Structure 1
């Protein structure tokens, strides 16, 4: 890889790390936000839901927009929006305003995440798995060390510090991206003279509204019922409305000419569909532990934010160590062996959680963290390599958007699962039940990967397009 390619990787990496960094630093701030705003766990969990729902929407929309308006422009605009959100969040007078700032931050960082991989795919043509391993060090490293960084920042400057740290990062990222990301000319003829109605149809505004309304209604109904301890008529109606809206969303997406999530694409590219399903499960597993463990340590074992971050550093170091090894391994053998090992490690980590007792040394959680950390490093490269080999180059932006949507749908599912199991407060018994469910899901993922060759999943085989 030459010097220009390395600088391009750094420019893209500095932008795409902002999404996982900001989604992960909040993990150790949840207990503090509960105290500041006098909220229970179910209510404060919307600081997680809002970020990931907005990301799930922004990823495919911005992936599509990048194919029309240009990837460089979308990337730079994302840095500007992220900078503004980082200034506004610490000034939030209420929890509702903080949620709005988080949504704005999610949109900005999603703009970069949606097109960053596509930029690399277009401009770097040799040893892509190695290039992906570099990006995964930004992605998985930022996500994994986020709790440590967040814990240190909270101890130094309370919760606003986890937003203020973005200001120098976005400023430096903008200058580097402006200089290093090659210019690209958008298909201007597609948007010149376009009316507002045509513009809304292009981004499928109606589909977005159905998706958001359905998902939010479903989450409100399920979480409210769990938090109150009983099921009321309003809870049932919220769930029914959510399901009807999501059903209408599926019907609309299959009929519209410019879908927000091109569901027909999954039928056209079954290997890509298989990759996205596995990626949802991987993220459900990873983020259930990622957000569940810090809250367990702080609320049940009474560990400080800083020391919780120190323990979570095991996750980050394991991910960083595994990523370059994964790149070389996948360059030689393809993604499938690495994904099988990853699923086995998540099974081991989940089973270890179940074996913990109320008197187990706090440091013993490091084994589960290490297993999930190595797994995360393998998945960060392996899943991306599988996506590249299963999707056509001409839809790079759309494929990246769908892939990242799968990531956030898995993360939303993990938060929903944790909220339903824990309810208003964390407990040891609830954490053990969470471990049991994660172990079952991880075992299913092992079986899926072992059967992938027989199932004809070409995405998990070695492809010459990767190297």
Structure 2
């Protein structure tokens, strides 16, 4: 047994700081470039649809690589792959800062995204190696906090850097932070355990899965105005590739992914709940700006201020939620988080927009607080439920479920919102129509949270029947 699972090492705080910095860096890379898009459009004389690919290239690279890097970490060592991933992220950041064309910048963002995929996939997996099992909840809570901080900090930090030094500064800043993260990880992360020679890597399965995920993520992130036939074709392609991946895996002697994993108590449900909950989380980011600006008539600065309440609450509650998981168990805390999210969705769906900003902020606080609590509990429950040699893959799958929930929520809940307004376009919708769209979108979100809550009941009964566990 790994001593770190039962006893605190003097180096534990530094190990946890290394993982927290890696998580901060990967989430910062997601959000810091958005604010520079208008500047990039002007600098490269490109359309807004073209410069959007600076963001999409990073997102697609992360989504397609997660499972592959998680499996590689389990086979070849999570510490050494984490160091390689941070190095790739730094390289991508430096290439982005030196870009002389939009195409070069997008290619650099793909490199940066591949490095970020490693950090996202392995940060949670390394918790089991870096901290005692009794502290895994608070460690997961800290990682959730750092993810929220990175997401919230990106726009403001990026805006300040662009205004003061120009757009390359945002990538130079992430490169510098990446060097700090590399130094911390190299100094403090525990060495990889010696294992037998790894099995051969399932290259055909990896290629098929990455292609299927890329096709799906691309379909979900295509800009508005893209022909619907293209989106449908990409979705059909993703289904065909997913079917081919399944056929390859069931015949492979060393598959990338064993599907029996999803039948283990709490594992499959944990992935599904993560996807559903992140659809709802994305709804606050997609619908919120339109509701605040169009239904409530707030100025852009005020919209931004109100929107920061969500990440701020999530950041503040991450560590306390993790401590609650360590003390009361993940199951109870998981249900508390989902109950809070459900209450927030009911508030969004039921409170009249005539009540103004408070009628939006209160549900937002409930929803994001519940999201932070859920994340700490679900991440801990899923990642600590598997053997150490599978933590990289499981952490990657959990992060993949989160990302797929986010990209699906951006597309699907945006479509629900627009349809509920009854207008041909959001530009043509009045305040009442926008408010109606908000109510309907979050009513659907509340239904998704209710489904997730129902999933917490089945694993309890299954575990109790087999092991006599206490519900």
What TM-score do the two structures reach when normalised by structure 2? 0.80
| Structure 1 position 280 matched with structure 2 position 275 | yes
Which residue in 2 is equivalent to 1:337?
332
Deviation at 1:455, TM superposition (A): 5.2
Deviation at 1:82, TM superposition (A): 1.2
Which residue in 1 is equivalent to 2:444?
440
Deviations 1:360-393 (CA, angstroms, capped at 9, x unpaired): 7568644344233312321231111221353233
Which residue in 2 is equivalent to 1:149?
157
Which residue in 1 is equivalent to 2:147?
139
2:183 to 170, 175, 179: 175
Which residue in 1 is equivalent to 2:312?
317
**Distance 1:187-1:273 versus aligned 2 partners, 3 A rule:** same
Deviation at 1:354, TM superposition (A): 5.0
| Structure 1 position 128 matched with structure 2 position 128 | no
Matched residues in 1 for 2:53 and 2:166: separation? 20
Deviations 1:172-210 (CA, angstroms, capped at 9, x unpaired): 11111111112225647338xxxxxx65x3573432354
Matched residues in 2 for 1:286 and 1:157: separation? 33
Q: More deviation in 110-119 or 32-41? A: 32-41
Which residue in 2 is equivalent to 1:76?
83
* Partner SS for 1:390: coil
Which residue in 2 is equivalent to 1:5?
12
Counterparts of 1:24-35 in structure 2, within 5 Å, are 24-26=31-33, 28=35
Q: Highest relative contact order (Cα 8 Å, sep 6+), 1 or 2?
A: 1
* Partner SS for 1:257: coil
Which residue in 2 is equivalent to 1:227?
225
Count of aligned residue pairs for this structure pair: 448
Give 5+ residue unaligned stretches, structure 1.
Answer: 192-197
2:388 to 389, 393, 405: 393
1:163 to 167, 171, 185: 171
What TM-score do the two structures reach when normalised by structure 1? 0.81
Are the equivalent residues in 1 in contact too, given 2:149–2:311 (CA < 8 A)? yes
* Partner SS for 1:184: coil
**Distance 1:345-1:2 versus aligned 2 partners, 3 A rule:** same
Deviation at 1:307, TM superposition (A): 5.7
* Partner SS for 2:253: coil
Are the equivalent residues in 1 in contact too, given 2:220–2:407 (CA < 8 A)? no
Matched residues in 1 for 2:247 and 2:367: separation? 37
Are the equivalent residues in 2 in contact too, given 1:213–1:245 (CA < 8 A)? no
Are the equivalent residues in 2 in contact too, given 1:344–1:442 (CA < 8 A)? no
Matched residues in 1 for 2:378 and 2:442: separation? 20
Deviation at 1:344, TM superposition (A): 3.3
* Partner SS for 1:189: coil
Give 5+ residue unaligned stretches, structure 2.
Answer: 1-7
Matched residues in 2 for 1:46 and 1:446: separation? 35
Matched residues in 2 for 1:7 and 1:85: separation? 26
Deviations 1:128-184 (CA, angstroms, capped at 9, x unpaired): 222322333222332344344344444444554433321221111111111111222
Deviation at 1:10, TM superposition (A): 0.5
2:400 to 400, 405, 427: 405
Which residue in 2 is equivalent to 1:111?
118
Deviations 1:74-96 (CA, angstroms, capped at 9, x unpaired): 11111111112222224444544
Q: More deviation in 449-458 or 423-432? A: 423-432
Which residue in 1 is equivalent to 2:4?
none
**Distance 1:298-1:178 versus aligned 2 partners, 3 A rule:** farther
Are the equivalent residues in 1 in contact too, given 2:349–2:442 (CA < 8 A)? no
**Distance 1:307-1:81 versus aligned 2 partners, 3 A rule:** farther
* Partner SS for 2:332: helix
Are the equivalent residues in 1 in contact too, given 2:88–2:112 (CA < 8 A)? yes
Matched residues in 2 for 1:444 and 1:235: separation? 24
Which residue in 1 is equivalent to 2:244?
248
* Partner SS for 2:126: helix
Which residue in 1 is equivalent to 2:209?
208
Which residue in 1 is equivalent to 2:3?
none
Over the aligned positions, Cα root-mean-square deviation in angstroms equals 3.8
Matched residues in 2 for 1:294 and 1:310: separation? 11
Matched residues in 2 for 1:457 and 1:163: separation? 49
Matched residues in 1 for 2:461 and 2:452: separation? 10
Are the equivalent residues in 2 in contact too, given 1:26–1:147 (CA < 8 A)? yes
**Distance 1:2-1:299 versus aligned 2 partners, 3 A rule:** farther
1:452 to 449, 456, 464: 456
Matched residues in 2 for 1:156 and 1:351: separation? 43
